[in-house]
Amino acid sequence: MVVYEVNLEFDVAIAAAYREWLAAHIAEMLALPGFKQALVHEVVEPLPTAGRQGLCVRYQVEDLGALETYLREHAPRMRADGLQRFGEEGVRIRRRVLRHTAL
């Protein structure tokens, strides 16, 4: 199991529209093979920039193969949709991939 983490920071002026779009986007992600669950967290610390809100979406993905398929076959189209609606300035995005490990 891997975690695909997407950290989002967006302007409060678009918050309602962005959250509505994000809910549909998450549903689309969860319909993809290998995507098992999505947890949405509000960023508390560090505080987002003034006038902005922060969310962290953590997708549980079956394996790296499923994530790579998403990145290759679906991500360009899905990311373009968000950019078209909200622009590059409206939303800042950082992504990470995490894999469970034993200590």
Q: Which residues of 55-89 are buried (b: 16+ CB within 10 A; e: fewer)?
A: bbbbbebeeeebbebbeeeeeeeeeeebeeebeee
- 2-99 CATH, one of 1.10.260.40, 3.30.70.100, 3.30.1180.20, 3.20.20.70: 3.30.70.100
Radius of gyration, CA atoms only, the chain:
14
How confident is the chain (103 residues) per 10-residue block, as mean pLDDT? 97 95 97 98 90 96 98 95 86 95 91
Full-model pTM: 0.92
